[in-house]
Amino acid sequence: MDRILVIVRHGQSEWNSRNLFTGWKNPDLSPLGVDESRRAGRELKKLDLYFNIAFTSVLLRAQHTLDLIIDELGQTDVPTIRDRALNERHYGDLSGLNKDEAREQWGEEQVRLWRRSYDVAPPGGESLKDTVGRVLPFYCQRILPRAMRGERVLVSAHGNSLRALAMVLDQLTPEAVAGLEIATGVPIVYRLAADSTVASKLVLGG
């Protein structure tokens, strides 16, 4: 039984390229993001993986990334579940602001706390802890059972929703996950053991 789970952060978005806080705003991929997504598909194709199910958020950049990956795989018939539980962290009042301008307005240390701490939320937004609170139940109830049945599962989501998953998969503490960066368009292939822990992990390219 395979128990394969692949997670991919969406390719660079138009707002990533402009250094803007994005959160639940809905820009599409940049040209570089399209290239990154297609490259992710080609890297996965080298492993000759066939996916039984795909999950993504309700945001365009993650959905577009998934579409490009499965197009490269030649598996455009893969059933896909879209759910807001996998959305990026909500950045509240920071959404749409330039990160450098935010530092000028609130100070380097305050913005660093909002971006990198585990439990400090920006005004009107979510902390990483809040994001974990919605991502992990969805993982346990909807994603993990499919993988444990031996299905090959592909998840296209966002930096912070995937950091939430990594807390469980890689058994990270809140302190450790604060320093975790997940690169855009780089698939991470997990093979799960019978007890749902990680038997092996492979980062493709990056």
**Cβ atoms 79, 54 nearer than 8 A:** yes
Mean pLDDT across 158-166: 95
Output the pLDDT for position 206: 58
- pLDDT confidence bin for 62, thresholds 50/70/90: very high
Mean pLDDT across 136-159: 97
Report, as residue numbers or ranges, the catalytic residues.
10, 88
Task: Tell me how far CA of residue 137 lies from CA of 2, 131, 165, 171, in angstroms.
Answer: 23, 11, 10, 16
Q: Give the pairing of strands 188-192 and 198-203.
A: antiparallel
pLDDT digits (tens, 9 = 90+) for 30-47: 999 999 999 999 999 999
Give CA 114 to chain center in angstroms: 19
Give CA 156 to chain center in angstroms: 6
pTM value surpassing 0.85: yes
Domains identified in the chain and CATH numbers: 4-203 (3.40.50.1240)
**Cβ atoms 186, 204 nearer than 8 A:** yes
Mean pLDDT across 10-22: 93
Q: Which residues does 198 contact at the CB level (< 8 Å), separation at least 6?
A: 169, 170, 190, 191, 192
**Cβ atoms 51, 153 nearer than 8 A:** yes
pLDDT digits (tens, 9 = 90+) for 91-100: 999 999 999 9
